[in-house]
A and B are shown apart, each in its own frame.
Chain A
Amino acid sequence: EADIYQTPRYLVIGTGKKITLECSQTMGHDKMYWYQQDPGMELHLIHYSYGVNSTEKGDLSSESTVSRIRTEHFPLTLESARPSHTSQYLCASSEAGAYGYTFGSGTRLTVV
Chain B
Amino acid sequence: RKEVEQDPGPFNVPEGATVAFNCTYSNSASQSFFWYRQDCRKEPKLLMSVYSSGNEDGRFTAQLNRASQYISLLIRDSKLSDSATYLCVVTEYGSSNTGKLIFGQGTTLQVKP
Contacts and interface: CB of A to CB of B under 8 A. Distances in A.
On whether the two chains bind one another, the answer is yes
Interface of A: 31, 33, 35, 40-45, 48, 50, 58-59, 90, 94, 96-99, 101, 103-106, 108
**Closest 6 pairs (CB-CB, A-B):** A103-B43, A97-B99, A97-B97, A43-B103, A42-B103, A98-B96
A48 B98 contact: yes
Nearest to B31: A98
Task: Summarize B's interface: helix, strand, loop or mixed.
Answer: loop
B1 interface: no
A60 B11 CA distance: 29
Interface string B32-66: 10100000011111100100000000000000000
26 contacts: A31-B98, A33-B100, A33-B101, A42-B2, A42-B4, A42-B87, A43-B44, A43-B87, A45-B100, A59-B100, A90-B44, A94-B99, A97-B91, A97-B96, A97-B98, A98-B34, A98-B95, A98-B96, A98-B98, A98-B101, A101-B46, A103-B43, A103-B44, A104-B43, A105-B42, A108-B41
